[in-house]
Amino acid sequence: MVSSKLFHVRNSTGFRLDACGILVMDEADRMLEDGFADELGEIIKSCPKGRQAMLFSATMTDNLDQLVHMSLNNPVRLFVDPSNQAASRLIQKFVRFRQTRESDGAAVLLALCRKTFKEKVIEAAYQMKILLGLVGLSAAVLHGNLTQEQRLEDLERFVDNEVDYLLATDLAARGLGIKGIETVINYNMPTQFAQYLHRVGRTARAGRSSYSCYKNN
């Protein structure tokens, strides 16, 4: 985490970045959204000017351009997919809810899981674990109140195919790089397109065809 790295820079006499040869900033756009711009700037200034820097991001924003200018010299941009677009082999589906039927969301999600999306599915809905269990569907959960050990245990169960569904809050799902994800279900549609791209970016990787599904009111 950015805050922990900065804590060491500020408070540990034996921890210095003078000899840093490579600076890697992953999920940079999300870190800026979460208010870590000043912290990132301080870490960058603590590194030598001659270091190599690599910045990874699912979306390109104006704030990210400022970080690029601050941290990179003669930057080279490489795009896996066109900027601000979902993967070309991602099949996107939506379920439309009328305003008077929003309470049916959990029931519709259960139906989707039982009939359509049956394996390697990430959903952004923690409370669904109980409902999935009641209908015999196995799920693991990632949320902010778990310890790191608990988080890794549940993630390992999903990776090892011991469970078919991973229920994750938006925060807990960041940075997940799991091979073979077939579907991402957005229980609540993000209000920003960049956030949606982050969520569906967990799948349709390396030329694979996958699905994303979300509800639309």
84 phi-psi bin (left φ>0, alpha ψ -120 to 50, beta other): left
pLDDT score, position 43: 84
% of the chain with per-residue pLDDT over 70: 77
Q: Please give the structure tokens belonging to residue 109.
A: 């999600």
Q: Is the pLDDT of residue 134 over 60?
A: yes
Question: Which residue among 23, 40, 71 closes a domain?
Answer: 71
Confidence of residue 2 (pLDDT cuts 50, 70, 90): low
Catalogue the long-range contacts made by 140-147 (C-beta closer than 8 Å, 24 or more residues apart).
140/165, 140/166, 140/167, 141/166, 141/167, 141/168, 142/166, 142/167, 142/168, 142/169, 142/172, 142/173, 143/168, 143/169, 143/172, 144/169, 144/171, 144/172, 146/172
* Residues 54, 124 share a domain: no
pLDDT score, position 25: 85
* Residues 202, 166 share a domain: yes
Confidence of residue 104 (pLDDT cuts 50, 70, 90): confident
- Higher-confidence position of 171 and 195: 195
* Residues 107, 67 share a domain: no
Quick one: CA dihedral 68, 83, 56, 1, positive or negative? positive
* Residues 143, 57 share a domain: no
Mean pLDDT computed over 47-65? 81
Confidence of residue 206 (pLDDT cuts 50, 70, 90): low
pLDDT score, position 162: 92
Range of the domain at 114: 90-216
Q: 203 in a domain, yes or no?
A: yes
Chain centroid to Cα 111, Å, comes to: 25
Q: Exposed, middle or buried by CB within 10 Å (0-12, 13-18, 19+), for 177?
A: exposed
Question: Rounded to whole angstroms, how far apart are CA atoms 31 and 134?
Answer: 37
% of the chain with per-residue pLDDT over 90: 2
How many domains are contained in the chain? Answer: 2
Question: Rounded to whole angstroms, how far apart are CA atoms 212 and 29?
Answer: 22
- Higher-confidence position of 102 and 115: 115
Confidence of residue 179 (pLDDT cuts 50, 70, 90): confident
* Residues 113, 39 share a domain: no
Tokens 């992953």 belong to 26
Question: Rounded to whole angstroms, how far apart are CA atoms 181 and 121?
Answer: 6
Q: 78 in a domain, yes or no?
A: no
- Higher-confidence position of 61 and 69: 69
When the pLDDT of each residue in the chain is averaged and rounded to a whole number, the result is: 77
Question: Rounded to whole angstroms, how far apart are CA atoms 18 and 51?
Answer: 9
Reported residue count of the chain is 217
Mean pLDDT computed over 136-146? 82
Mean pLDDT computed over 87-106? 77
* Residue 171 neighbours by CB distance under 10 Å: 12
